[in-house]
Structure 1
Amino acid sequence: MIKIATAECFTQGKIGRELHALAQSYEGNFGNEHIKNLREYGDFNYNELSVVCSLFIPTIEAMKKVLNVENPPKPKKLIKGIKVYDEAGDKAASKIMARSIKELTDCNIAIGTTAGIGHGAISIITDDCEITTTTDVYADLCENNSEELFQRSENGIEKALEIVLLLLNDDLDKIESFENLEIR
């Protein structure tokens, strides 16, 4: 069984929800919104997945108290406690969030997401690798433009899910072809 846990900000726990629906073979209204043609990713048996937890972590306080992050990166700004990083800060924070949820849950795959000003960041961490990328959509949380924020969130959900599905199907070549992606 492969266990997955998420600590999400701008994707609001939807990556975890989608993976849970996939793992449980849910269909219809309770099924996947974003995952469609599974066959194009490979033959992985998704019944071998289990989502341990999917957390919505928008605030700096939640990073500290829920994820046990003692010294999170200092945000550029706080909006009602919500952390607002620039893109470099988002990358650093998403890695910290993924590492923390991995340590807390002892999962096999941990996902952290956060986005303030810029393209936002997604980090996917396993025992063997760390993948960090950004969305393809620029938005600024301080401007409160709901449509841009929504588009960035949707793009982040889709990109994270695609990377996880490719990872589960051992298709690192395709993952490495993504733009704005770092693998360690």
Structure 2
Amino acid sequence: MIKIATAECFTQGKIGRELHALAQSYEGNFGLEYIENPKEYGDFDYNDISVTCSLFIPTIEAVKKVLNVENPPKPKKLIKGIKVYDEAGDKAMSKIMANAVKELSDCDIAIGTTAGIGRGGISVITDTCEITTTTDVYADLCEKDSEKLFQRSENGIEKALEILMLLLNNDFEKIRSFENVEILDLSKKIL
């Protein structure tokens, strides 16, 4: 069984919900919303995954108290406690959030997402690799443009899920073909 956990900001726990529906083979209203055909990614048996937890973590306070991150990077701005980073900060924070939820839940795969100003950050982390990218949609949380924020969120959910599905099917070639993706091989990391 492969355990998956998420710590999500701008994707609002929807990645975890989708993965739970996939793992449980739910159909109808409780079924898949974003993944149209899981088998198009490969032959992985999705009954072999389990969602340990899916956390919605929009605030810096939750990063500290729920994810137990002692000294998170200081955001550019706070909006009612919601952390607002630039794109580079979002990518760094998505890694921090993924690593924190991985440690807390003792899962096999962790996903972290956060977005303030820019395309946001998405990280998918295992014991052997770290995949970090952004969405394909620019938005600014400070401008409160609901349509742009929604588009960025939807794109982030879809991209994170696609990366995870490809990861489960060991299709790193396809992951590498995505724009703005970084893959770190942790198995070769020198400590």
Give the TM-score, by structure 1 length.
0.99
Deviations 1:77-124 (A, max 9, x none): 000000000001001100000000000011000000000000001000
Corresponding residue number in structure 1 for 2:120: 120
Q: Distance in 1 between matches of 2:38 and 2:150?
A: 24
Corresponding residue number in structure 1 for 2:21: 21
Q: Does 1:181 align with 2:184?
A: no
Deviations 1:16-65 (A, max 9, x none): 00000000000000001100122210010000000000000000000000
Q: Distance in 2 between matches of 1:39 and 1:117?
A: 35
**Structure 1: 5+ residue runs without aligned partners?**
none
Corresponding residue number in structure 2 for 1:134: 134
Q: Distance in 1 between matches of 2:37 and 2:29?
A: 17
Q: Distance in 2 between matches of 1:173 and 1:105?
A: 29
Corresponding residue number in structure 2 for 1:153: 153
5 Å matches for 1:26-175? 26-175=26-175
Q: Which runs of 4+ in 1 moved over 4 A?
A: none
Q: Distance in 2 between matches of 1:78 and 1:92?
A: 17
| Identity value in percent | 83
The alpha-carbon deviation at position 71 of structure 1 amounts to 0.4
RMSD: 0.4
The alpha-carbon deviation at position 128 of structure 1 amounts to 0.6
Q: Secondary structure at the match of 2:128?
A: coil
Residue type of the alignment partner of 2:55: L
**Structure 2: 5+ residue runs without aligned partners?**
185-191
Q: Distance in 2 between matches of 1:138 and 1:11?
A: 14
Residue type of the alignment partner of 1:183: I
The alpha-carbon deviation at position 177 of structure 1 amounts to 0.6
Q: Distance in 2 between matches of 1:164 and 1:177?
A: 14
Q: Distance in 2 between matches of 1:178 and 1:137?
A: 14
Q: Secondary structure at the match of 2:155?
A: helix
The alpha-carbon deviation at position 162 of structure 1 amounts to 0.3
Aligned pair count?
184
Q: Distance in 2 between matches of 1:101 and 1:16?
A: 12
Residue type of the alignment partner of 2:119: H
Give the TM-score, by structure 2 length.
0.96
